[in-house]
């Protein structure tokens, strides 16, 4: 892992754990073990640039994870259900990278930054498109896949957020169990 990615991974963990406002740049430097100058070298425009890069990095990692998990099963109902159960099984792992919630950062930063609002929107669209692609490739019409992929994104992100707040996986498991009913009723 290079210095930039180490800073971003540390920042992601701290933003998730403590929030945007409660996480300072000095704390990120200390926890990452990176030299102080490297943070300013990689993110010369400060904390907002760091947060945007963190959201993009985590967004891309999670998007690839979603693709990998959905590719394990050709049936979209089983694939999506298994992906959510995968999140639940891995919820309490140390890094919780798989349960990184963009919404927690978005709620703190969107009111103060149009740039971060745009970044969060792009990540949500990337994830939603991944669900859309799975549904279309499985025979859903484009119109139906558009509607369902948005609702899936809302359901999964909501379940992750509530699971993080409660520090349990009840909502993730509940969401997973409703996937067959939700997708088969359409």
Write out pLDDT tens, residues 118-169: 999 999 999 999 999 999 999 999 999 999 999 999 999 999 889 888 989 9
Query: pLDDT tens-digit profile of 76-99?
Result: 999 999 999 999 998 876 554 445
Give the mean pLDDT of 67-75.
96
**Is a pLDDT exceeding 80 seen at residue 1?**
no
In the predicted model, what is the mean pLDDT of residues 40-46? Answer: 93
Percent over 90 (pLDDT), the chain: 74
For residue 186, the model assigns a pLDDT of 53
Taking the C-alpha atoms of residue 90 and residue 163, their distance in angstroms, rounded to an integer, is: 12
Instruction: Map out the domains of the chain with their CATH numbers.
Output: 53-184 (1.10.357.10)
Q: How far apart are CA 97 and CA 79, in angstroms?
A: 20
b/e map 4-15, b = 16+ CB within 10 Å = bebbbbbbbbbb
Residues with Cβ within 8 Å of 37's Cβ and at least 6 positions away in sequence, in order, are none
Supply 135's token pair: 């549904």
| pTM summary value | 0.87
Q: Could you tell me the two tokens for 72? A: 């394990």
Task: Report which of residues 68 and 186 the model is more confident about.
Answer: 68
């Amino acid at each position: 892992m290079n210095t930039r990615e180490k800073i971003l991974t540390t920042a992601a963990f701290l933003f998730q754990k403590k929030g945007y406002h409660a996480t300072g740049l000095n704390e990120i430097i200390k926890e990452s073990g990176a030299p102080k100058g490297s943070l300013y070298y990689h993110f010369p425009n400060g904390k907002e640039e760091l947060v945007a890069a963190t959201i993009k990095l985590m967004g891309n990692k999670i998007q690839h994870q979603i693709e990998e998990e959905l590719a394990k099963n050709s049936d979209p109902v089983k694939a999506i259900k298994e992906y959510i159960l995968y999140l639940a099984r891995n919820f309490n792992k140390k890094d919780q990278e798989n349960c990184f919630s963009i919404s927690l950062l978005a709620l703190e930063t969107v009111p103060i930054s149009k740039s971060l609002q745009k970044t969060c929107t792009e990540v949500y669209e990337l994830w939603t498109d991944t669900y859309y692609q799975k549904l279309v490739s499985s025979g859903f019409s484009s119109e139906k896949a558009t509607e369902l992929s948005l609702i899936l994104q809302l359901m999964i992100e909501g379940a992750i957020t509530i699971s993080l707040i409660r520090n349990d996986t009840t909502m993730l498991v509940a969401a997973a169990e409703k996937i067959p009913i939700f997708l088969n009723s359409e």
